[in-house]
Amino acid sequence: MAKAFEQPIYVTRPLLPDFTDITERLRVVWNSKQLTNFGKQHDELSHQLKEYLEIDHISMFSNGTMALLLGLKALKLTGEVITTPFTFPATVQALDWNNLTPVFCDIDPVTFNIDADKIEALITEKTTAILGVHVFGNPCDVEKIQAIADKHGLKVIYDGAHAFGSKINDVPISSFGDMTMFSFHATKLFNTIEGGALTYNNPALDKSLDLLKNFGIASAEEVVVSGLNAKMNEVQAGVGLEVLKVIGEERSKRYIIKKAYEENLADIEGIQILTTLEGESSSYQYFVIRIDEAVFGQSRDAVHKELQKYNVFARKYFYPLCSDFEWYSDLPSARPENLPHAQQAVQQVLAMPYYGDLPVSSVALICGIIRELHITQKSLSQI
């Protein structure tokens, strides 16, 4: 029987650049006395991210949620937006705060992203957009979604919180749709502690997003729209500049950890790996498995609980389904019978510990715990 880890093993740990580099960067910020409101660090990070993400237009925010919320506002959407129930609450809360009604579409049983084949049936005269989520960094069916949007005159927004740096056939993920949101939260591979961004191709959005995230202030004497305060500050941007220097190394480390998981889980019946993309295609943000109770012999919840006994804190991303939030109980699209694949996914998915400093030996031990659970169950069922 395996021993519990002495220290807790979390689903992730922030990517932390060398502390000396951070203090040097802070010294520059301190000396400048410009702490926020679009200073040099902000502009430099914006420039570097445009290059990294291979996009002409970017707008940075205090966090990913505010980016999405104000991005939807800038697109002047009304009525209904077709989206996925299998996401983090922020995706749908950004709709709520814009007085937009989510229309939940079931997910694809393989990718766990919005099922593009089920979108068209949900379009009404009130629909103005499709909001897809590149869940765990696996891209949505962007071509099919765009074709539907073009046919019906809809906007397309992607929540790419997990997809920083991913590509689809060598094309950067940020190039699809009308805009893509990225999260730079501490738990994300690229982090600014808290932070986020929108990328887009339409230059007209530069101005409206600048206004929306800065109280609608157009000049010292002019306030032209009702905005909010959602700016990225200089310390966040400075941290981002240092993190950007080390993400190549982190991605390589995560590649090795991914391989270790794949090898150790390969022959366990009932375990399927959801994050299969590699190289430039992958964001290396999460390593996620799906547990088929009928084959594995134990439920996802049982595995989650068992791992905790060993001091391993895998996470049920995402749980609960957004369509099950109490405030959507009157929405026909939120009814469980309309979302069979999402209802199944929410019971099966487990995000495993995944970060560059996680020793490969720990991965083997974690997988050993899962294997043991499967073997014990198998022998019990044969008695």
90 counts as binding ligand T4K under rule CB under 6 A: yes
Q: Per CB under 6 A, which of residues 91..120 are in contact with ligand T4K?
A: 91
Interface mask (CB under 6 A) for ligand T4K, residues 167-206, using x and -? ----------------x-xxx--------x----------
Residue 31 identity: N
Order of strands across the sheet that contains 80-83: 57-61, 196-200, 179-183, 155-159, 127-133, 80-83, 101-104
Between 11 and 339, CB nearer to ligand T4K: 11
Are 9 and 362 in contact by the 8 Å Cβ rule? The answer is yes
Give 232 or 291: the residue with its C-beta nearer to ligand T4K.
232
- DSSP conformation letters of 73-137: HHTT--SEEEE-SSS-HHHHHHHHTTTPEEEE-PBPTTT-SB-GGGTGGG--TTEEEEEEE-GGG
Amino acid identity of residue 316, one-letter, is K
Among the listed residues 41, 46, 65, 84, the single contact to ligand T4K using CB under 6 A = 65
Q: Please say whether the beta carbons of 341 and 323 come within 8 A.
A: no
Q: How far is the CB of 6 from ligand T4K (least distance, A)?
A: 17
CA distances (Å), origin 131, targets 102, 268, 320:
9, 35, 19
188 is annotated as an active-site residue: yes
Structure token digits, residue 232: 């990225």
Number of residues this chain uses to bind ligand T4K (CB under 6 A)? 24
- Of residues 194, 320, 338, 314, the one with CA closest to residue 265: 314
Give the shortest CB-201-to-ligand T4K separation in angstroms.
21
How far CA 333 is from CA of 91, 96, 367, in Å, comes to 16, 15, 38
242 contacts ligand T4K (rule: CB under 6 A): no
Q: Least separation, in Å, of the C-beta of 131 and ligand T4K?
A: 10
Instruction: Catalytic residue, from 73, 167, 188, 258: name it.
Output: 188
Q: Using CB under 6 A as the criterion, what x/- string covers residues 342-361 for binding ligand T4K?
A: --------------------
Q: Which is nearer to ligand T4K, 119 or 161 (CB)?
A: 161
Q: Under the criterion CB under 6 A, does residue 59 sit at the interface with ligand T4K?
A: no
State which of residues 97, 313, 319, 325 lies at the interface with ligand T4K (CB under 6 A): 313
285 binds ligand T4K (CB under 6 A): no
- Nearest CB to ligand T4K, comparing residues 70 and 161: 161
Is 323 a residue that touches ligand T4K (CB under 6 A)? no
| Strand pairing category for 271-273 and 222-223 | unpaired
For residue 11, which of 186, 259, 262 has the smallest C-alpha distance? 186
14 is an interface residue for ligand T4K by CB under 6 A = yes
Report the nearest approach of ligand T4K to the CB of residue 89 (Å): 8
Residues in the chain: 383
Positions that interact with ligand T4K (CB under 6 A) = 10-14, 63-65, 87-88, 90-91, 133, 159, 161-162, 183, 185-187, 196, 313, 315, 317
Q: Which residues are known catalytic residues?
A: 188
